[in-house]
Structure 1
Amino acid sequence: MINPQTDRVLITGAAGAIGSTLRRGLRDHWRHLRLTDIRPVPDLADNEEFVVADITDRPAVESMMRDVRAVVHLAGIVGSYTLEDLFRVNARGLFDVLEAARLAGVERIIFASSNHAFGCYPITEKVSPALPPRPDGLYGVFKVWGETMLRNYYDRHGIRSVSLRIGTFRPQPIDQRSLATWLSPADAVQLVDVALRHPDPGCMVVNGYSNNTRLKTVDPNWATLGYKPNDNAEDYRAALRAQGVDVDAPDRDVWEWPEHGGSFPRTPEKPPR
């Protein structure tokens, strides 16, 4: 079991949207946080230390693993990128972080996977972590690869892990799809907190959503992990309607996109360079 009072937790990608949210939500309870990013992290608390580094810098990654008991790996490229950069950070950088963690004796890894690991499933089919992955692009492929590596590290080396297939992380839902896929900041903090505290998660994959009325998932492993999300995208239905979002079609099980991955499955892959 990871002890929030005594054990050091490393958070990669700590300057990003999720990393910044986790810092605010965890630091009152987790007394030893080590943060890393290529960008500065402002307003460090007394129990936070910051290491500026690129996760593709293997010596730097190995150094920051010193005395770390658990890693929350958030760092990665999303949005605008070339395939070369995607591979450098989300594949090679992922390998370096996980392997450096193994060599340092890290006991638990929380991995920011993505719902794009199963984005090619039809929206009419309720998905579960028990189903085979169906990534909707190379971004999702590398998330599946990370989950597979963690399975190998558990089977061969006993490293416990929780892969979080994170949905639409925003302060509020942003579109029709996020009525099903939204993950609120407060629920994201709870999700990572319980993943760190669980006495023995084994090698678990969990769907990372809030408690949305229109969830398109089944058996997301929430009960096993002890995750009890509180927020619901439905509470923002009127606000989305005011923005011109069609929030009524899902009542008839009609969705803007035919797959779980939204526009991703039908979007051309990024340029190589």
Structure 2
Amino acid sequence: DSLYGVTKCYGEAVASYYYDKFDVETVSVRIGSCFEKPRDRRMLSTWMSPRDFISLMKAIFAAPMTGHLVMYGVSDNKSKWWSNDHAEFLGWKPQDSSEQYRAEIEAAFPPEDRKDPAVIYQGGGFAAKGHFED
């Protein structure tokens, strides 16, 4: 839902091609947001803690075999949008959750407009901007 998303999909397609043709293993990690703590209501769903990021990278590099894997970099957030059930073989379990920040974030930010493209689409604000030449 944005040019960034298109280029991300292209990179994942190239990685898949290289695995299928040359057995080059790749893990493509789709990171929603990775900061010390969530910065807004949206990040209560997309947030990944730095600690979980580091542990995910360690699990990926320690895996004896990954094939071509596309997965999400997200902490164990109650309201997360994505599942990594297909990647359980990595043995990675996120340790953190955005819930500890929920009250603080909800007090600081008004409820989101459910009709706002930045809320509707995965690309958030990037999807709402439109084409750069418009």
TM-score range, shorter chain: 0.7 to 0.9
Q: Give distance in 2, aligned partners of 1:269 and 1:224.
A: 39
1:217 is aligned to 2:82: yes
Question: Residues 255, 168 of structure 1: CA spacing in aligned structure 2 closer, same or farther, 3 A cutoff?
Answer: farther
Aligned to 1:236: 101
Contact 1:222–1:228 at 8 Å: present in 2 too? no
Aligned to 1:269: 131
Deviations 1:15-64 (A, max 9, x none): xxxxxxxxxxxxxxxxxxxxxxxxxxxxxxxxxxxxxxxxxxxxxxxxxx
**TM-score, length of structure 2 as denominator length:** 0.86
- 2:54 partner amino acid: V
**1:61-140 map, 5 Å:** 136-140=1-5
1:143 is aligned to 2:5: no
Aligned to 2:122: 260
Decide which of 170, 190, 208 is 2:35's aligned counterpart: 170
Secondary structure of the structure 2 residue equivalent to 1:270: coil
Deviations 1:164-222 (A, max 9, x none): 01111111101111111001100111111111110000110011101000011234534
**Share of identical aligned residues, percent?**
34
Q: Give distance in 1, aligned partners of 2:38 and 2:78.
A: 13
Secondary structure of the structure 2 residue equivalent to 1:211: coil
Secondary structure of the structure 1 residue equivalent to 2:28: strand
Q: Give distance in 1, aligned partners of 2:44 and 2:115.
A: 10
Measured after TM superposition, the shift of residue 233 of structure 1 is 0.7
**Structure with greater helix share of residues:** 2
Q: Which has the higher contact order (CA 8 A, sep 6+)?
A: 2
**TM-score, length of structure 1 as denominator length:** 0.44
Measured after TM superposition, the shift of residue 245 of structure 1 is 4.4
Secondary structure of the structure 2 residue equivalent to 1:221: helix
Q: Give me the CA root mean square deviation.
A: 2.1
* Equivalences, count: 131
Larger radius of gyration: 1
Contact 1:180–1:214 at 8 Å: present in 2 too? yes
**1:169-188 map, 5 Å:** 169-188=34-53
Contact 2:41–2:109 at 8 Å: present in 1 too? no
Which segments of 5 or more consecutive residues in structure 2 lack a partner in the other structure?
Answer: none
Decide which of 27, 39, 61 is 1:196's aligned counterpart: 61
Q: Give distance in 2, aligned partners of 1:244 and 1:137.
A: 25
Question: Residues 193, 149 of structure 1: CA spacing in aligned structure 2 closer, same or farther, 3 A cutoff?
Answer: same
Contact 1:175–1:245 at 8 Å: present in 2 too? no
Deviations 1:203-250 (A, max 9, x none): 10011101000011234534122210011111101221332343xx7x
